[in-house]
């Protein structure tokens, strides 16, 4: 290989590098936009479009700053890509500022290609926004075909004008051909990424909406199901009152009806607490005592499931900042679940220990265990695998632990059992 050939290969690889950098400048605004704007809810929606416009201008200017010169006199870059994308997605609101930015760049920094380029970019600035509305109504495939066609036409115009004004042959060492291909390919990748980004964003929004609707459905189904029972019973007693003569019986019926009405009220209160958790009343509490109390309370329940409870360390006093009502509610839910997981009896281990400024409480059962799907849904309101379950117990547990600045971990294996570990920061007595 002689020196001249080596020189050509070196120049070619240098220009290829520049071409790749140009490609990167096309991708950059799309990625930056996706990272910092699309998914950030705190960014105001009316700031998103100006941000995208700014990024497109930046991309066009960066492309112009690093042009590719495959052969002496044939200089090109991919500035048309962000420019056409701007015109297609933002109409004149985008194409005019990008147009002015490109002209401004020329004005301040100069450039040789001005006579070839100005007619083409003016044509893009005027014509592309005209089809913007139609373009936006197409599906992804048609958008890609349309945008590539525009990009190819613009590159052809450049090649023809360069031929007419500078007498650069249209087959000049194949370089116009490379430009043509690079322009089409970059447009394809750019539009494909934008469309995928928009589609993912819309899908996520749709998903959140569906999820909200399903929670509303679940809540209303659950409330009506729970409240219907006491109402039906009350109605029965009130009807019976009309036919009843004996004052004693009437008093008894009124008592039952009032009791059922109270139950309905409690159920509604319970739902309200779930959606609007009240502020806990934080005090120094002896968590060991609360745990021992709950275990004592649930012993008869465990017995009815033939579950043996084994405790370890719960007699040692440990203090945390908490709310004894809430802590009890939390223990009751966890221990009840563990007992219910062992329908045919089993052993429930409840262990309390301290370690590096924390109190750790293990609740271990050898019951039915959970699949990974069940584990994932543990915090989902109304998720239950039990016939008479409410699916609210664990939601309450997670909420309480969060408000008391504690932590909860769970390990579970289907058919083997479940191990919950909850921890709270210790405080001095
Ligand atoms: P519920 O007890 O009314 O079903 P929870 O919110 O208390 O509602 O529990 C939700 C689900 O989590 C249960 O239906 C059960 O499938 C699963 N679960 C919770 N704790 C355990 C456990 N210790 N072992 C097995 N499954 C459990
Ligand atoms: Mg439960």
Pocket lining: 391 vs ligand 1, CB cutoff 6 Å = yes
pLDDT of amino acid 64 = 87
Residue keyed to tokens 């990625």: 31
Percentage helix, strand, coil for the chain under 3-state DSSP, each rounded to 5: 65, 15, 20
- Ligand 1 centroid–CA 54 distance in Å is 51
- Pick from 77, 83, 85, 115: which is nearest to 100 by CA? 83
Closest ligand to residue 392's CA: 1
- Ligand 1 centroid–CA 374 distance in Å is 8
The best mutation among 226, 330, 394, 419 to test binding of ligand 1, ranked by most ligand atoms within 8 Å of the C-beta, falls on 394
Q: Which two tokens stand for residue 27?
A: 């991708």
Atom number in ligand 1 closest to CA 334: 20
pLDDT tens digits along 280-332: 778 999 999 999 999 988 888 899 999 999 999 999 999 999 988 889 889 98
The best mutation among 337, 347, 368, 384 to test binding of ligand 1, ranked by most ligand atoms within 8 Å of the C-beta, falls on 337
pLDDT tens digits along 161-198: 888 877 777 666 667 777 888 889 999 999 999 999 88
Pocket lining: 416 vs ligand 1, CB cutoff 6 Å = no
Closest ligand to residue 341's CA: 1
Pocket lining: 337 vs ligand 1, CB cutoff 6 Å = yes
- In sequence order, the β-bridge partners of residue 418 are 365, 412
Residues whose CB falls within 8 Å of the CB of residue 299, separated by 6 or more in sequence, listed in order:
309
Spatial distance between the Cα atoms of 102 and 51, rounded to a whole number of angstroms: 18
pLDDT of amino acid 412 = 97
pLDDT of amino acid 141 = 93
Pocket lining: 367 vs ligand 1, CB cutoff 6 Å = yes
- Give me the tens of pLDDT residue by residue for the chain, a chain 429 residues long: 455 555 555 556 777 788 888 888 888 888 888 777 776 655 566 677 888 899 999 999 998 888 887 656 567 788 899 999 999 999 999 999 999 999 998 888 766 666 778 889 999 999 999 999 999 999 999 999 999 999 999 999 988 888 887 777 766 666 777 788 888 999 999 999 999 988 888 898 888 888 888 777 777 776 776 787 788 888 888 888 888 888 898 998 899 889 889 888 877 877 777 666 667 778 999 999 999 999 988 888 899 999 999 999 999 999 999 988 889 889 989 999 999 999 999 999 999 999 999 999 999 999 999 999 999 999 887 788 988 777 888 988 998 899 899 999 999 999 999 999 999 999 987
- Ligand 2 centroid–CA 356 distance in Å is 31
């Amino acid at each position: 290989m002689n020196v001249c050939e080596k020189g050509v290969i070196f120049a070619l690889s240098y220009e290829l590098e520049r071409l790749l950098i140009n490609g990167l400048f096309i991708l950059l605004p799309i990625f930056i936009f996706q990272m910092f704007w699309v998914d950030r809810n705190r960014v105001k929606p009316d700031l998103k479009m100006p941000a995208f416009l700014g990024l497109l201008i930046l991309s066009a200017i960066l492309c112009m700053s690093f042009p590719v010169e495959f052969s002496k006199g044939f200089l090109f870059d991919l500035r048309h890509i962000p420019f056409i994308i701007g015109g297609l997605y933002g109409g004149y609101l985008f194409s005019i500022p990008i147009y002015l930015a490109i002209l401004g760049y020329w004005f301040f920094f100069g450039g040789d290609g001005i006579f070839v380029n100005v007619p083409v970019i003016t044509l893009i600035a005027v014509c592309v926004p005209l089809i913007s509305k139609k373009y936006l109504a197409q599906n992804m495939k048609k958008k890609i075909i349309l945008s590539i066609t525009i990009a190819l036409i613009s590159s052809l115009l450049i090649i023809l004008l360069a031929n007419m004004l500078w007498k650069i042959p249209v087959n000049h060492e194949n370089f116009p051909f490379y430009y043509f291909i690079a322009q089409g390919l970059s447009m394809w990748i750019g539009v494909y990424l934008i469309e995928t980004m928009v589609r993912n964003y819309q899908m996520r929004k749709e998903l959140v909406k569906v999820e909200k609707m399903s929670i509303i459905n679940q809540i209303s189904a659950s409330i009506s199901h729970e409240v219907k029972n006491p109402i039906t019973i009350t109605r029965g007693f009130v009807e019976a009152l009309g036919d009843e003569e004996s004052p004693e019986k009437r008093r008894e019926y009124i008592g039952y009806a009032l009791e059922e009405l109270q139950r309905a009220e409690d159920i509604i209160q319970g739902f309200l607490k779930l959606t609007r958790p009240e502020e806990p009343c934080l005090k120094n509490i002896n968590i060991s005592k609360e745990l021992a109390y709950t275990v004592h309370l649930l012993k008869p329940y465990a017995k009815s499931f033939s579950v043996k409870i084994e405790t370890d360390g719960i007699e040692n006093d440990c203090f945390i900042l908490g709310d004894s009502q809430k802590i009890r509610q939390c223990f009751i839910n966890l221990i009840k679940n563990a007992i219910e997981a062992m329908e045919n009896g089993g052993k429930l281990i409840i262990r309390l220990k301290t370690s590096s400024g924390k109190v750790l409480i293990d609740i271990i059962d050898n019951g039915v265990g959970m699949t990974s799907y069940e584990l994932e849904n543990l915090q989902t309101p109304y998720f239950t695998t039990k016939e008479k379950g409410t699916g609210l117990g664990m939601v309450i547990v997670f909420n309480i632990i969060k408000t008391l600045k504690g932590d909860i971990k769970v390990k579970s294996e289907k058919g083997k059992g479940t191990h919950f570990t909850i921890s709270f920061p210790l405080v001095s007595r």
